[in-house]
Each structure stands twice: as C-alpha cells, then as structure tokens.
C-alpha cells in the first residue's frame, strides 16, 4: 500500500470515528481521545504491514545483484571494446 492511499484511508477512518463520536453525544475530550487512539492503531497496523512485506521479501545477495548489473553493462558494450578503469577527475 502506498503512503498517499494510507493517508487518505486514515483520514476517512478518523472522520468516521469523529462523526460517530459526535452523533453519539460524546464530549470533545472523548472525541479527541477516540481519534488519537484510532490514529495510533491505524499507524501501528500500517507499520506491521510494511514490516511483514519486508520480512516476506526474498533477500538478494550482493553478489547476485552485482552479477546482474555486470551482465547488463557487458551486454551494452560493443564487441571488441574493453571496459577501462574508472579515473578520477583530480
């Protein structure tokens, strides 16, 4: 889930909680407390969702990533052309 979608969803959820509290006849302090609790629960859920997504992702070793990049670069180099060492501008 992207951050903008999360923020829009959180605003809708908070608006529903605030509206429900208002029509329920809650005091302003209770409305504020419910909104804060709702925001904290939603934020914790989003954190856990992102944490789970990162945990499920298969790790890519640095060697595999380096080989993939090297293969891409070598495929772009013309036949007979050699890759020279990088030279500094100093």
The mean per-residue pLDDT over the stretch 13-42 comes to 93
Q: What are the residue ranges of helices labelled H in the chain? A: 3-23, 28-56, 62-76
For residue range 45-80, what is the model confidence (pLDDT) as tens digits? 889 988 898 888 877 676 666 666 666 655 565 555
Between these two residues, 81 and 28, which has the higher pLDDT value? 28
Residue-averaged pLDDT of the chain: 80
Per-residue pLDDT at 76: 60
Is the pLDDT higher at 18 or at 76? 18
What mean pLDDT is predicted for residues 13-32? 93
What does DSSP assign to residue 26? -
């Amino acid at each position: 889930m992207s951050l903008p979608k999360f923020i829009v969803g959180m605003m809708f959820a908070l608006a529903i909680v605030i509206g429900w509290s208002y029509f329920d006849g809650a005091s302003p302090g209770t409305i504020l407390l419910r909104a804060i609790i709702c925001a904290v629960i939603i934020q914790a859920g989003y954190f856990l969702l992102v944490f789970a997504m990162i945990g499920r992702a298969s790790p890519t070793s640095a060697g595999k990533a380096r080989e993939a990049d090297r293969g891409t670069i070598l495929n772009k180099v013309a036949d007979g052309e050699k890759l020279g060492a990088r030279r500094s501008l100093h």
